[in-house]
Chains A and B, each alone.
Chain A
């Protein structure tokens, strides 16, 4: 294997006959060492860094979750006790419910809207297409912290723009941070604002990879734009759509910054934990309370398992239903 680089691939046949012998002689010992080991040297930085700061902590999280672990103190092995405690922990299940609630509330309208916008941007005769693409993507350039700060103000009870707008239609001022449903809507709106444009562009890229003649054929049969969308675009878009759904799942279930900043850094979310997510609960049981790090590690693995299960489920469902 290691020597194969010195022999030219047979497919590039033309000049080999002539150059091959000369080249073999030409490679010095240094060159041979160089060709053999340089590749490993070049890929090493990623693997070394990932090993130390990625893989090792992940496995350590698993080990930690089997202990009563104080991040700045002692630790005792307790087997699966953290996990069994987790199963009967109301705060944990509350966090799970909040996370899934906001995930669904954010993802479903977001993907529907992204699909709709991507389809509009895919119209072949559209003018100012670069402008539209860029303008729709701008929110993704803004940091999550900035989004949460600005939307925290838009969703203020007394002088927020959202309540002012709803007031025009006679809706009384809503205290967005107080109820679970209102806080979920506010937080999902932040997520959607930041990510709809991104998903639109990914879906648009998928749409543009669909061969034009399929549309030609559909148009010949008299299918209008929306009929073409259902019969050509959607089925052909399936791989991209699965990709987008998986990405949204991984990101959405780790929801953290928006609900944290929404209530001024309160790791519990609302006063009654109305919008505390699993990720926040993990922080509450580790970095905010160092002596409970073992329990926090169990929360981290539970979250990871949830992400895996939901991703696989979504994968199966989107594969089957978008047919």
Chain B
């Protein structure tokens, strides 16, 4: 910044038009969410108002209770299921990703480069290609409508391996690993005591991204889970299909499904955005 001369400073000055455009973008990003909260806190007939209601009211409790009492959607079950699935998947993706990332970045073994290439290649294949046989497979092994079906296939991710490898290559020094080896550490001890602590910042970002993605996943849970044992997203869709005229109830439930992620994002948004932007440059 200090190198910018006064002449180019004038050229690079941020004009009010820039701020106006950005503020418009921010408003259109926020408005649909804000509208969701407004409707979620009002009586259902507020949707008929002209102009549309703009301020929240106090009926959120009523609305969410109606959603929770609903027998078809099993919303509470959906919330519990989503917490379980997203937590297990996140913990596992971070563990398997950091282990494999460590191996690819710091250990020498035959076929390393080829295997790493394979990991990257799998990221380009659309997952939906295998969805029909996968559905049949789940039927055969009795995992239809079971949380195992939406958890086990996702316990390791190519993106996780890739991201951790990128970070491990620069964050962990070879000397450190050599030194630990001389001290008699097994490879596992090196991973656990030396590498994993060093990977913590990247592991946190990977964990956040994985949690959000798993929490929001729709297509596969929708295919393999019934509304008796849904994840939150499946439960929301059931609720919205069956009661699409009761908007304040549906929106209250949708808000409950959305708020945890927005809170996480407000707390850790800086790291999440940093992770996404770094990943883009490296890829």
Q: A: which residues have CB within 8 A of B?
A: 1-2, 4-5, 8-9, 12, 19, 23, 26, 30-31, 34-36, 38-40, 42-43, 45-47, 49-50, 52-58, 60-61, 64, 71-72, 116-117, 120-121, 123-127, 130, 132-139, 141-147, 149-154, 159, 161, 164, 193, 197-198, 201-202, 204-206, 208-209, 212, 215-216, 219-220, 224-225, 240, 243, 250, 254, 256-257, 261, 264-265, 279, 282-283, 286-287, 293, 296-297, 300-301, 303-304, 307
Contacts and interface: CB of A to CB of B under 8 A. Distances in A.
Contacts of B7: 219
B137 interface: yes
A202 B258 contact: no
Question: Shortest 4 CB-CB distances between A and B: which pairs?
Answer: A57-B130, A53-B153, A143-B216, A205-B277
Nearest to B262: A141
B270 A130 contact: yes
Contact of A57 (B29, B133, B191): B133
B32 A151 contact: yes
Interface stretch (B60-68, B181-189, B196-204): B181-189
B258 A146 contact: yes
Given A61-B132, A300-B128, A120 B18 contact: yes
Given A153-B47, A243-B283, A145 B233 contact: yes
B11 interface: yes
Chain A at the B interface: SS class = helix
14 contacts: A2-B109, A38-B188, A39-B187, A42-B107, A43-B100, A46-B97, A50-B158, A133-B273, A136-B22, A137-B269, A205-B278, A225-B11, A303-B129, A304-B126
Nearest to A311: B124
A125 B273 contact: no
Nearest to A301: B129
Contacts of B26: 132, 135-136
Contacts of A121: 22
A43 B186 contact: no
Contact of A257 (B3, B22, B218): B218
